[in-house]
Amino acid sequence: MKVGILLPTNIYFAPYSRLYTDILDEANVEYDIIYFDKRDMDEPAAYRFSATVSTTDGMLKRLWGYLRYSFFLRRVIKKENYDKLIVCGPQIALFLYKFLKKKYAGKFIMDYRDLSIEQRFKSRYKKILSISACNVISSPGFRRCLPEGEYVLSHNIRMELLEKGFAEQRKDMSHHLTLIDGKIVVLTIGGIRDFEQNAAIMQALANQPGFETAYIGRGEEGADVKLRDLAKKESIENVYFSGFYKKEDEPNIIRRCTFLNIFYPRKMSHDTALSNRFYSSLIFRKPMITTAGTTQGDYASRYGVGVAIVDNRNLCRQLHDYVENFNDEVYERNRNQLLNEIYKDCQTFRNAVISFLKDER
């Protein structure tokens, strides 16, 4: 058997592909990764389609890019004659619908990680979901925006990381919040985007005694540059910026913070998603700063693993209160309960993929 994994973006920005390759490697199933090189990164893979497409481009330009990519995908799939496909992203599926219906009905997984152009083509996307073997979503919040039906929840975290989190917990049953030189450090790591919300966090803590903010990672749409300019303009001294970092350095970077920042704007795409930082917060025992009324905010509030805020007013007081009232036993118990829920979802996802591979249709 040979499987084609179709990615809608660069491999670097699709870490969820590892969730599938881990299972395929374990099952000794051959596969190819085919990806859309939007940022000219030239990552190693079986097949690469190169064309510059940005999130700031207009709808027509983005659609044209995916249309061209879909032609490329058809050629590759016909050439390789894959037995089954894993289609990641509705952008790809919308343009491949007729091809999938004719050649791969019941032989592909539809993987959904972010709200996208399918919100404008709901009828067509519903048809795609009806011909797939399995429909996967990365957040329970997406059910609000998708047709009713059966969905398998696939969290954006690998099983080995979850198991590592449990192992660390067994070694050290106590936990205390990390303060660096007595200061509360708020970290934003990974893709730096949503300038207004990141600026709100930075400004709320600007030059406040006992606080530091750090922005480490690549900026999207120039958000990191704008933040640097704002910090300089407003003479904010308790902020640290660093660009690209090696993925293997991420654990040590996260361990040196108090809170992980996932304060996002209120829009449906952000309200419904679960970010990579959400899982990092749980694995590394770093309480999260989230947006109230969102899927992440609901988790943070329900399990007490962070704070959910509406805006940046009184943020200093809220963080101080959380630190002062922090109870390590309660936090560990709640964190463990949430991690167990996630682990069960991951097992269900793994079983669904294995069943898909074994199905001889």
| Tens digits of residue pLDDT in 96-125 | 999 999 999 999 999 999 888 888 888 999
Per-residue burial over 265-274, b = 16 or more CB atoms within 10 Å of its CB, e = otherwise: eeeeebbbbb
How far is residue 246 CA from its own chain's centroid? 18
Neighbours of 24 (CB within 10 A): 18
pLDDT tens string 208-238:
999 999 999 877 666 788 999 999 999 999 9
Taking the CA atoms of 113, 114, 117 and 122 in sequence, report the sign of the dihedral they define: positive
The fold adopted by the segment(s) 177-325 is Rossmann fold (3.40.50)
Which residues have a Cβ under 8 Å from the Cβ of 326 and sit 6 or more positions away? 176, 177
Is the pLDDT at 127 greater than 80? The verdict is yes
Instruction: Enumerate the CATH 3.40.50.2000 domain ranges in the chain, comma separated.
Output: 2-157+342-358, 177-325
Q: Which range has the worst mean pLDDT, 12-16, 58-62, 116-120, 318-322?
A: 58-62
Which residues face 186 on adjacent strands? 213, 259
DSSP letter, residue 10? -
| Predicted confidence band of residue 60 (pLDDT cuts 50, 70, 90) | confident
pLDDT tens string 277-317:
999 999 999 999 999 999 999 999 999 999 999 999 999 99
Select from 230, 325, 317 the least CA-distant residue to 309: 317
Taking the CA atoms of 321, 323, 329 and 335 in sequence, report the sign of the dihedral they define: positive
Average pLDDT taken over every residue of the chain: 91
Rounded to 5°, angle at Cα 13 from 62 and 81: 75
| Predicted confidence band of residue 169 (pLDDT cuts 50, 70, 90) | low
* Calpha distance 309→355 (Å, rounded): 41
Region class of 270: left (phi > 0), else alpha (psi between -120 and 50), else beta: alpha
CATH number of 2-157+342-358: 3.40.50.2000
Contact assessment for residue 87 and residue 4, using Cβ atoms and an 8 Å cutoff: no
Contact assessment for residue 155 and residue 178, using Cβ atoms and an 8 Å cutoff: no
